[in-house]
Copies of this chain bind each other. A is one copy, B any other.
Amino acid sequence: MNNISSFEITIKSIPDISPDQVELVMSQFKPKNYSKNHFIGRQDETTRFTAYVEKGCVSNYRILDNGKKSINHFAFEDWWVGDLDSFLNQKPSKTYWLTLEDTDLLAITKQDFDELMSSVPPFQIFFLKKTQTAFVKEMENADKDKSETALERYMRMMKNYPQIIQRVPQYDVAAYLGIAPESLSRVRNQARKLIS
């Protein structure tokens, strides 16, 4: 039961949460298991749940007007998935969420989520802080992405998210870095020379 416990640790570590509230929160999240290459969310669909990743990897991306696939991030273990805007406001999503490995989630529906948000204030604060942290991180990454060279972006990815290189297909790494797939091997070679 190792997988359950990482979620349990997360919920138990919420500041000011009582044992009863821990039990209530945990009971609202239901396991969902998907095989590799399954869309847990698509553009134009309304997101039915938000979920904690127990095991696996999910890519979150957007298809731009120019036809390119732009990957915002990869959600590994202990990340959360689901289009926030679509989930919270129950409107069509603008992004895709695709499993890149067999993936085990713990998912909560919008109705159960709303009930927890009003009945368990520590959970509400936890969720708002998570969102805020994600926003701050997104701004920092966005500012760096647009002004760094491809090599600098690659080096930062290697430092902050080394699991991406180990677990994600090459063409998805390129779509995450915002470079053409055929440029990736050049950037990797440059990186190798820098490191060695």
Contact = CB atoms under 8 A, between A and B. Distances in A.
Interface in A137-157: 138-149, 152
Given A131-B132, A134-B135, A138-B135, A144 B70 contact: yes
A138 B142 contact: yes
Given A85-B136, A132-B131, A138-B142, A148 B66 contact: yes
A62 interface: yes
Interface string A119-141: 00000000010011011101111
Interface residues of A, number: 35
Q: Give the copy number.
A: 2
A157 to B, nearest CB: 12
A94 interface: yes
A63 to B, nearest CB: 10
Interface of A: 61-62, 64, 66, 68-72, 84-85, 88, 94, 128, 131-132, 134-136, 138-149, 152, 175, 177-178
